[in-house]
Amino acid sequence: MATPDVALGAPSAPLPGAGLADVSKQRIFVASQWQLMWWRFRKHKVAVASALVVIGFYLVVVGADFLAYADPNASEAQRSLMPPQRVHLLDGWRFSPYVYAVKGARDLQSFKRVYRPDPSEKVPVRFFAKGFEYRFLGLIPTTRHLIGVDGGRDASKTIFLLGTDVQGRDLWSRLMYGTRISLTIGLVGVTMSLVLGVVLGGLSGFYGGVADTLIQRIIEILRSIPTIPLWMGLAAALPREWSILQVYFAITIIISLLAWTELARVVRGRFLSLREEDFVVSARLVGCSQMRIIFVHMVPSFMSHIIAATTLALPAMIVSETALSFLGLGLRPPAMSWGVLLQQAQNVQTVAISPWLMLPAVPVIVVVMAFNFLGDGLRDAADPYGR
C-alpha cells in the first residue's frame, strides 16, 4: 500500500496537533477501499455537483408522467407552435403563480398563427392538479400532476412552459417522456457494451497470447471505422413495421456493438496489471479455481475502474441515439426521445421562427457534461492509493 496522504481522508480540516493527525491516519489504515474512494470523490466538487445533476435526471426518468402536465401525444391544431408562456410567480406580493390566457389568431398576411397573451385574464397555476390519467411508477393509477391549470379543453387557458410543436403538443411534457427514453437507452446500451467489454477484455487480459492478439486487432479495426455511417446503414435496415419496443432494443444493440471497445481496453489493462500481483499469485498457488480467482479476487479490485469507464461511456451512447433519431433513422415517432424531438429543429427556417424547438438540445448538453465530469471524478477516485 502506498503511503497514506493525511489530507486525503481527514474528515474535517486537519487541526494542528499530533494526536488528531494520528487519529485520521488510523482512519485511513482501517478504511475500506470504497470508503477511501468516497473520501477522495467528495473532494472533487464539480464531480459531486454532476452526480446530483445525474440523479436529478434519473428522478425525471422515474417520475416523467408526474412532472408532465399534458398528454404528450395530444395534438391540437389550435395550439400549433405556441411560444413558451411566461409564468408569473407573484400576484401582487402573494406567492400565487399564474399565466396569462393566450389568444391565438391566424395572421392574414403570413397565414401563420400568432399568439398574444391577454393580461386581463389570469389563469392560476395549481400544484398537484388533475390531468390525464397514468400509473405512477407503473403501479398506482392516478391523475395528479405536479402542476396544471384548470382549463379543460379551452384553447386559451393553457400552460406551455416550453411552448408547443407543429402539431400543438406540449414540448415540456414531451421532453419529460423523451428524457425517460433517451436516458434508459443509454443505460441498456452501456450494460450490453459492458458485458461484451468485460468478457472480451477479460479474455484478452487474463489469457493473453493468441486470444489477446486477436481481440486487440479486432478492437483496432473497429476503432478505425467511422461509426455513424455504419450505424446509419444498420439502423436503416430495421423493418418499418417493427414496434417501438423492438426498434428501441435494436438501436441499443446496434450502438453497443461498436461501443464496447473502450470498456474492453480498460478491463484488459486492469487484468494485465493485476495478473502478477502477490494476492493473485498466492490465490493461484493455494489452488483456487480460475473462476474464483477472477470473480472473487480480481474483479472486486477493479470494480471501481469499470464503474468509472462505464460512466464515461454513457454520454457517447446518449449522443449516438440522439444523432440517429435526429436523422430519422433511430427511434421514430410516436416514440419520444431527445433526438426525435430535435427532428423538428432540423430546418433553420422553422427554428428561426420558433427557436424553442431547439430546447431539447439543452438536456442533451447538460447530461453529457454531467456524465463527463462525474466519470472524471470517479476515475480519479477509483485509484485511492494513487498520487
Partner 1 sequence: MLAYIGRRALLAIFTVWAISVLSFAIIQLPPGDYVTSYIAQMASMGSVVTDEEAQNLRILYGLGQPIYVQYLKWMRLIAQGNFGMSMEWRRPVTEVIGERFWLTVVVSVASLFLTWVLALPIGIYSAVRQYSVGDYVGTFVGFIGLAVPNFLLALVLLYLGFTLFNAHIGGLFSPELQDAPWSMARVWDLLKHLPIPALILGLAGTAQQIRIMRANLLDELRKPYVVTARSKGLTEIDLILKYPVRLALNPFASTIGYTLPYIVSGSIIVSLVLGLPTVGPLLLKALIAQDMFLAGTIVLLLGVMTVIGTLVSDILLVWVDPRIRIEET
Contact 198, 306 (CB under 8 A): yes
Q: Strand order in 140-149's β-sheet?
A: 88-91, 94-106, 113-136, 140-149
- 48 near partner 1 (CB under 8 A): no
Tell the smallest beta-carbon distance from residue 367 to partner 1 (Å).
9
Contact pattern for partner 1 over residues 198 through 227, marking x by CB under 8 A? -------------------x--xx-xxxxx
- Smallest distance, Å, CB 169 to partner 1? 21
Q: Would you state the cell numbers that stand for residue 185, as one nine-digit string?
A: 437507452
Residues 6+ apart with CB under 8 A from 47: 41, 373, 374, 376, 377, 378, 380, 381
Note the helical H segments in the chain: 6-9, 18-30, 33-43, 45-62, 64-67, 171-207, 209-223, 227-236, 244-259, 261-275, 278-285, 290-292, 299-327, 338-342, 348-353, 361-381
Question: Taking contact as CB under 8 A, which single stretch among the options 37-45, 68-76, 171-179, 354-362 is the one that binds partner 1?
Answer: 354-362
Question: DSSP string covering 84-137, please?
Answer: PPPPEEEETTEEEEEEEEEEEEE-TTT--EEEEEEEEEEEEEEEEEEEEEEEET
Closer CB to partner 1, 26 or 346, in the complex:
346
Q: How far is the CB of 237 from partner 1 (least distance, A)?
A: 3
Residue 114 CB, shortest distance to partner 1, in Å, is 18
Stretch that binds partner 1, among 102-110, 243-251, 272-280, 316-324 (CB under 8 A): 316-324
Site size for partner 1, by CB under 8 A?
39
Min separation Cβ 240 and partner 1, Å: 10
Measured distance CA(89)–CA(30) in Å, rounded:
52
Q: Which is nearer to partner 1, 75 or 372 (CB)?
A: 372
In angstroms, give the least distance from the CB of 80 to partner 1: 20
Q: Which three cell numbers stand for residue 338?
A: 431527445
Cα separation, 130 vs 148, in Å, equals 7
One character per residue 51-70, x = contact with partner 1 (rule: CB under 8 A):
--------------------
Distance (Å, rounded) from C-alpha 188 to C-alpha 317? 10
**364 binds partner 1, rule: CB under 8 A:** yes
Residue 103 pairs in a beta bridge with 116
Rounded CA-CA distance 59/65 in Å is 11
Q: Is 43 in the site for partner 1 (CB under 8 A)?
A: no
The residue among 310 and 343 lying less far from partner 1, judged by its C-beta, is: 343
Residue 326 within binding range of partner 1, rule CB under 8 A: yes
- In the region spanning residues 226 to 265, those forming contacts with partner 1, defined by CB under 8 A, are 226-230, 232-234, 236-237, 239
155 binds partner 1 (CB under 8 A): no
Min dist CB 241 to partner 1, Å, is 11
CB atoms within 10 A of CB 346: 12
Distance CA 41, CA 51 (A): 10
Span near partner 1 by CB under 8 A; candidates 14-22, 98-106, 202-210, 359-367: 359-367
Q: How far is the CB of 357 from partner 1 (least distance, A)?
A: 10
Beta bridge partners of 101: 118
Minimum distance from CB of 128 to partner 1 (Å)? Answer: 35
Q: From CA 378, how far away is CA 96, in angstroms rounded?
A: 42
Pick the binder of partner 1 from 95, 140, 352, 387 (CB under 8 A).
Answer: 352
Distance of CA 248 to the CA centre of its chain: 16
346 binds partner 1 (CB under 8 A): yes
Contact 71, 145 (CB under 8 A): no
Cβ at position 385, least distance to partner 1 in Å? 20
* Binding residues for partner 1 (CB under 8 A): 217, 220-221, 223-230, 232-234, 236-237, 239, 315, 319, 322-323, 326-329, 342, 345-346, 348, 351-352, 355, 358, 361, 364-365, 368-369, 372
